[in-house]
A and B are shown apart, each in its own frame.
Chain A
Amino acid sequence: MADRLARLSLAVERSVEGLLGGHHRSPRRGISVEFVERRPYVQGDDLRHLDWKAFARSDRLSVKRYEEETNLEATLVVDASASMAYPEAAPNAGTDAPLTKYDYACQVAMAIAHLVLRERDGASLALFDHVVDRVLPTSTSQGHLEVVGQSLLQRDAQGTTAFSAVLANLTERIARPGLVVIVSDLFGDLAELDAGLGFLRTRNHDVIVLHVLHADELRFPFDRLTRFEGMETNGRLLVDAPALREGYIEVINEWRAEVRQLCHRRGVDYKLIDTDQPLDVSLSAFLGARQARLGGRR
């Protein structure tokens, strides 16, 4: 466990050095030092925000709005279902075991947590399969990174995926609008994913989907007669793999396009992460582009 944590931390250290740091502006509006706008008063508005000076000048009730410059709360939602355990190591692989999607997802989560905590923002962690089975509360402590790492590594990838229930649950758990980073292979029902993302977005969360797929799943390089067995289902299929490659790639590309469109429709940032790519390469381009987009929108 300690070794795994050390390796994970090392990988994350190397990766985050190239990533962008910076301020995170809160999407929450309220008490703050920086005025944003004035709007007509409606029943139910906090009377503390009434602009008395404006009322005196115009005899109209209006309410001041400010941008609150506060700590970001980033929730890292990591898929720990059985499909994330791909590729499975041979029984006697030892330290030569290949990097699984879950391993890679852990590195991604740790890297983002590292960035968030370095900015003194708050980071929390949720692991899920068909339910949210582990949640770390938000903390801005630098020591929290280690807690996150331990939580990630204590969990093995197993169980089936159910987005709707998981994301609905998280929506209820996360009190304030913040950043929700979902790290998953998204192997589940897309309608449920759509619904779950909808829940988050209605609570005004800024949602990022980091779609982790293994190179085998993207390019299907198998070259012989193979019996494929499902990791989350009991399905089996004996097939001449090269003969099915073209068809498989076509199907999975269609699915990826569908996922991308779904995220776009929900206003969710989407990034496909190929486990064959180094972590910093995968994240830096995405985060850089996101930073630029958010800055430009401002």
Chain B
Amino acid sequence: MNFEFGAPAMLGGAALIGVPILIHLLNRRRYTVTRFAAMAFLQKAFAKRRRRLRMESLLLLLLRCLAVMLAALAMALPFVPTDSLLAALGGGARDLVLIVDRSGSMARRLPGGASVGERAIEALRNVVSRLSDEAGDTVTLITMGAADPLPVPIGARPSAVLEVLDAGLPAPAGRADMVEAARLLRDRVRAVRKSRLDVEVLTDLQALSWGEDVGPILAEVFDDGGGTLRIEDLGRQLGDTANRSVSALEASDALLLAGRAATFNATLVNHGDTIQRGVRGRFLLDGELRRQVTDIEIPARGSASVELRLRVDAPGPHHLSFELDADELPFDDTRTLAFETRDAVQVLIVDGDRAVDPLKGSAGFLALALEPALAGDDAAQPAGFTTQIVDPRGFEALGRSIESADLIVLANVGGLGAETLTRLHEVVSSGTALMVFLGDRVEPVSLGERFGTLLPAQVGALRGDPTGRGEQDYVSLVLPEPAPPELELFSDPRLAMLLQVPVLAWHELTPVDGAHVLASFADALGATTPAIVRGRVGLGATLLFGTTADDAWSLLPRQPPTWVPLIHELVSSLTRVDPATHNVPLGSAPALVLQGTPASARLLDPAGGVERIARPEVELIGHRSRLDLNATPLDEAGAWSLEIEPADASRPGEVIALAALPDAREGDLRRIDSATLEQRLAPVSFVMGERLDEDPDEAGSESGDGSLFRFLLWSLLVCLLGESLLARRMGGMR
């Protein structure tokens, strides 16, 4: 029989059991002495009643000790498992919290054919059906790993929970996190359910679900009102598995352009202890097979990578999937990547010193790096960028049409009109990237006053000698450790050499809060100063280069092997859409930036189901809007699509590819061992349940909360009454 105690410290009161014995012994020493004449009769009476007197005295002592024991036990708030025979002594309504594991690993099949998740629902139904609305029983259902962890209100009636179970819970696919469940229990459930909570966890005991903090958090829950913890191990019939999963699918290139080949990589993981050979898989683009891969070898507890070189001709949203042959845990055998291919990145370059010869202006080298065809070589491979070069006056004349640019570059621009600056601020805030190069037309103080928060760094004094004739030494670019993702290309030591190009003059840059340095200028002595600083204004990325975009102060533009990839990497990183925006963890809701304002939307799930969002609530940000799909989280792994109908009928409709990604770690089916489980749950004590062995037809009602407090209190009263009667019968000895 397993007992739990709501206030185990009070068990120390049981030590007071010695008090009646002590009092009894002390009383034996506190007596009066009387010389009595009729001693013979007294001795005769005593001899006749000696046995009975001793029995009564012993019984009285036992009753007093029992009273102390019962009082201490009652104050310690003991509980027994609610399916225990003793639980019937408790009575009262039950406040049950059922935490059911709905993670992907619960989709695993048991020997009988049913999945662990199905058995969990079955066990859940059994438990809830034994409760009673009439008795005041309540159930709080927490679905670990599901998009909505509270599918019924906290403290719901059992019948309401059964209705939800009948309607069906989402299939197991997410990741179970007992720490998160415990926090939810502490912060939300305990906030409204102050009474004792019987917590029952139905899980496959996957090791990664049990974080280190779960015990202390549960202890806080139980310290505040008491409670018990019971864990139903639904996965103990499962043996070791050689589960494999697709843990990642990603594009190598930051920009995916229509008509240009790009590389995609799928990472496959073997969660088993033996090497897997001959594994087969396939890439599918928008549901069509693009490559069949056979004979993949994945080392034990290791991973393997499969590459796909793919050219997508049609611009727009796409889904690329990689599928493995199904194993016993299918949820992680497929992974989808949502991406969008673009025709080209629109770059609007404002040249502050524009000349007829492109290479004489401030932005010529930049434009050539982005669009080589400008040099007159028609055979040059398009880089995926289209450029438009204007002078500051032309830029002001463009008005609101600058909204169509993906990136605006200011090269040696000393100033802009106030209206243009305001418009530029709005455009950048709504998601257009901004790149700023300095030069001789830029006066630092004036630039700071005019551009203000648009710049990710304050521009300081000019350093170096633009002529290269002075005594001032030159500097060159160096990357911080570790290299930022934007310039990871140059983290390779062989390519890092390319950065050793002299920069003759530069401005000192002081990054503002939230900005970070992508590269620094380093002099011969190794002293560094920020060279490229990246920041953010609203939804738009901003970047400030501490020198010129032409060869006036820097020899970088004259070194194509350095300049071209440098500019490509920077522009790509500024204009790319973060894949995490459209590829979200299963069960979460994406936040999307839309062109214009949507009138309505349709969300298409992987199974082809459609959910219409009649009036999407959006946040207007400049000429764009942000849509949060909080009400419709992506609760099924795979390819999703969002079709937007714009409020402005003149604009074309927009389709956004989305993907819900199962947690790659969920495929690791190793179970937590009992010692580790006890360690994780310390200081909370728990019992392991055996729901799988129960016959639901034979199981009785679980009314009664398992608390023995009332029973002990009544027992104490009976004990005291018996003591009082016996003491009175014995003549009132106290």
Q: With A243-B731, A244-B53 given, is the CB distance from A238 to B31 under 8 Å?
A: yes
- Cα A232 to Cα B38 in complex, Å, equals 9
A-B residue pairs, 4 tightest by C-beta: A242-B731, A230-B39, A83-B37, A247-B45
Other than A240-B53, A240-B57, give 20 A-B pairs with Cβ distance below 8 A: A83-B37, A88-B35, A217-B37, A217-B38, A223-B732, A225-B28, A225-B30, A226-B34, A228-B34, A229-B33, A231-B36, A233-B40, A235-B43, A237-B42, A240-B730, A242-B733, A243-B730, A247-B46, A250-B45, A251-B44
Q: With A224-B733, A227-B32 given, is the CB distance from A251 to B45 under 8 Å?
A: yes
From B30, B32, B41, B732, contact of A242 by CB (8 A):
B732
**30 residue pairs bridging A and B, Cβ less than 8 Å apart:** A86-B35, A187-B37, A187-B40, A217-B38, A222-B34, A225-B31, A225-B32, A225-B733, A227-B31, A227-B32, A227-B34, A228-B35, A229-B36, A231-B39, A235-B39, A235-B43, A239-B53, A240-B53, A240-B57, A241-B731, A242-B732, A242-B733, A243-B56, A243-B730, A247-B49, A248-B41, A250-B45, A251-B45, A251-B48, A252-B38
Q: Check A86 against B37 for contact (C-beta < 8 Å).
A: yes
Total contacting residues, chain B, CB less than 8 A: 28
Asked if B27 is an interface residue, CB under 8 A from chain A, the answer is: yes
Query: What residues of A have a CB within 8 angstroms of the CB of B44 in the complex?
Result: 251
Q: With A226-B31, A229-B34 given, is the CB distance from A240 to B39 under 8 Å?
A: no
From B41, B48, B731, contact of A223 by CB (8 A):
B731
- Cα A224 to Cα B48 in complex, Å, equals 20
The B-contacting residues of A in range 80-95, CB under 8 angstroms, are: 82-86, 88
Query: What residues of B have a CB within 8 angstroms of the CB of A241 in the complex?
Result: 731
Closest chain A residue to B38, Cβ basis? A217
CB distance from A50 to the nearest CB of B (A): 56
CB distance from A255 to the nearest CB of B (A): 6
Query: What residues of A have a CB within 8 angstroms of the CB of B27 in the complex?
Result: 225
Query: What residues of B have a CB within 8 angstroms of the CB of A255 in the complex?
Result: 41
Asked if A129 is an interface residue, CB under 8 A from chain B, the answer is: no
Query: What residues of A have a CB within 8 angstroms of the CB of B48 in the complex?
Result: 247, 251
CB distance from A85 to the nearest CB of B (A): 8
- Cα A247 to Cα B57 in complex, Å, equals 16
From A82, A88, A231, A244, contact of B46 by CB (8 A):
A244
Secondary structure of the A side of the interface? mixed
The A-contacting residues of B in range 263-291, CB under 8 angstroms, are: none
CB distance from A222 to the nearest CB of B (A): 7
- Cα A231 to Cα B34 in complex, Å, equals 10
Q: Check A251 against B731 for contact (C-beta < 8 Å).
A: no
Closest chain B residue to A249, Cβ basis? B45
Asked if A214 is an interface residue, CB under 8 A from chain B, the answer is: yes
Closest chain B residue to A255, Cβ basis? B41
Closest chain A residue to B53, Cβ basis? A243
Query: What residues of A have a CB within 8 angstroms of the CB of B730 in the complex?
Result: 240, 242-243
- Cα A245 to Cα B387 in complex, Å, equals 119
Query: What residues of A have a CB within 8 angstroms of the CB of B732 in the complex?
Result: 223, 242
Query: What residues of A have a CB within 8 angstroms of the CB of B39 in the complex?
Result: 228-233, 235, 237
- Cα A83 to Cα B513 in complex, Å, equals 108
Contact with B along A124-159 (1 / 0, CB 8 A): 000000000000000000000000000000000000
Query: What residues of B have a CB within 8 angstroms of the CB of A251 in the complex?
Result: 41, 44-45, 48
- Cα A85 to Cα B35 in complex, Å, equals 10
Query: What residues of B have a CB within 8 angstroms of the CB of A233 in the complex?
Result: 39-40
Query: What residues of B have a CB within 8 angstroms of the CB of A223 in the complex?
Result: 731-732
Q: Check A231 against B35 for contact (C-beta < 8 Å).
A: yes
Asked if A185 is an interface residue, CB under 8 A from chain B, the answer is: yes
Of listed B30, B45, B49, B56, residue having the most chain A CB within 10 A: B45
Contact with B along A252-292 (1 / 0, CB 8 A): 10010000000000000000000000000000000000000
Of listed A217, A228, A238, A250, residue having the most chain B CB within 10 A: A228
CB distance from B132 to the nearest CB of A (A): 51
- Cα A250 to Cα B56 in complex, Å, equals 19
CB distance from B52 to the nearest CB of A (A): 9
Of listed A229, A242, A247, residue having the most chain B CB within 10 A: A247
Closest chain A residue to B32, Cβ basis? A226
- Cα A233 to Cα B42 in complex, Å, equals 12
Which residues of A come within 8 Å of B, CB atoms?
82-86, 88, 101, 185, 187, 214, 216-217, 222-233, 235, 237-245, 247-248, 250-252, 255
Which residues of B come within 8 Å of A, CB atoms?
27-28, 30-46, 48-49, 53, 56-57, 730-733
Query: What residues of A have a CB within 8 angstroms of the CB of B41 in the complex?
Result: 248, 251-252, 255
Q: With A226-B32, A242-B731 given, is the CB distance from A237 to B53 under 8 Å?
A: no
Of listed A225, A237, A238, A251, residue having the most chain B CB within 10 A: A251
Query: What residues of A have a CB within 8 angstroms of the CB of B56 in the complex?
Result: 243
- Cα A242 to Cα B37 in complex, Å, equals 18
- Cα A113 to Cα B631 in complex, Å, equals 119
Query: What residues of B have a CB within 8 angstroms of the CB of A240 in the complex?
Result: 53, 57, 730-731, 733
Q: With A83-B37, A247-B48, A247-B49 given, is the CB distance from A237 to B32 under 8 Å?
A: no
Query: What residues of B have a CB within 8 angstroms of the CB of A84 in the complex?
Result: 37
From A230, A243, A245, A247, contact of B36 by CB (8 A):
A230
- Cα A242 to Cα B28 in complex, Å, equals 15
- Cα A214 to Cα B38 in complex, Å, equals 10
- Cα A291 to Cα B32 in complex, Å, equals 46
Q: With A225-B30, A225-B31 given, is the CB distance from A239 to B46 under 8 Å?
A: yes
Q: Check B733 against A243 for contact (C-beta < 8 Å).
A: yes
Q: With A240-B57, A240-B733, A244-B53 given, is the CB distance from A224 to B32 under 8 Å?
A: yes
Q: Check A237 against B35 for contact (C-beta < 8 Å).
A: no
Closest chain B residue to A217, Cβ basis? B38
Q: With A187-B38, A243-B56, A244-B53 given, is the CB distance from A237 to B731 under 8 Å?
A: no
- Cα A244 to Cα B48 in complex, Å, equals 10
Closest chain B residue to A216, Cβ basis? B36
Query: What residues of A have a CB within 8 angstroms of the CB of B33 in the complex?
Result: 226-227, 229
CB distance from A225 to the nearest CB of B (A): 4
- Cα A247 to Cα B607 in complex, Å, equals 92
Query: What residues of A have a CB within 8 angstroms of the CB of B45 in the complex?
Result: 244, 247-248, 250-251
- Cα A88 to Cα B32 in complex, Å, equals 14
- Cα A282 to Cα B561 in complex, Å, equals 141
Q: With A248-B42, A251-B45, A251-B48 given, is the CB distance from A224 to B37 under 8 Å?
A: no
Q: Check A214 against B37 for contact (C-beta < 8 Å).
A: yes
- Cα A96 to Cα B112 in complex, Å, equals 97
Of listed B38, B42, B731, residue having the most chain A CB within 10 A: B38
Closest chain B residue to A233, Cβ basis? B39
Closest chain B residue to A253, Cβ basis? B41
CB distance from A88 to the nearest CB of B (A): 5
CB distance from A236 to the nearest CB of B (A): 9
Query: What residues of A have a CB within 8 angstroms of the CB of B34 in the complex?
Result: 222, 226-229
Closest chain B residue to A83, Cβ basis? B37
- Cα A228 to Cα B45 in complex, Å, equals 13
Query: What residues of A have a CB within 8 angstroms of the CB of B37 in the complex?
Result: 82-86, 101, 185, 187, 214, 217, 231-232
Q: Check B36 against A86 for contact (C-beta < 8 Å).
A: yes
Query: What residues of B have a CB within 8 angstroms of the CB of A185 in the complex?
Result: 37
CB distance from A284 to the nearest CB of B (A): 26
- Cα A216 to Cα B41 in complex, Å, equals 13
- Cα A173 to Cα B41 in complex, Å, equals 33
Q: Check B35 against A229 for contact (C-beta < 8 Å).
A: yes
Of listed A230, A231, A245, residue having the most chain B CB within 10 A: A230
Query: What residues of B have a CB within 8 angstroms of the CB of A187 in the complex?
Result: 37-38, 40
- Cα A178 to Cα B329 in complex, Å, equals 123
Closest chain A residue to B48, Cβ basis? A247
CB distance from B681 to the nearest CB of A (A): 52
- Cα A245 to Cα B45 in complex, Å, equals 9
Query: What residues of B have a CB within 8 angstroms of the CB of A217 in the complex?
Result: 37-38
CB distance from A79 to the nearest CB of B (A): 11
CB distance from A49 to the nearest CB of B (A): 51
- Cα A229 to Cα B40 in complex, Å, equals 10
Q: Check A228 against B42 for contact (C-beta < 8 Å).
A: yes
Closest chain B residue to A235, Cβ basis? B39
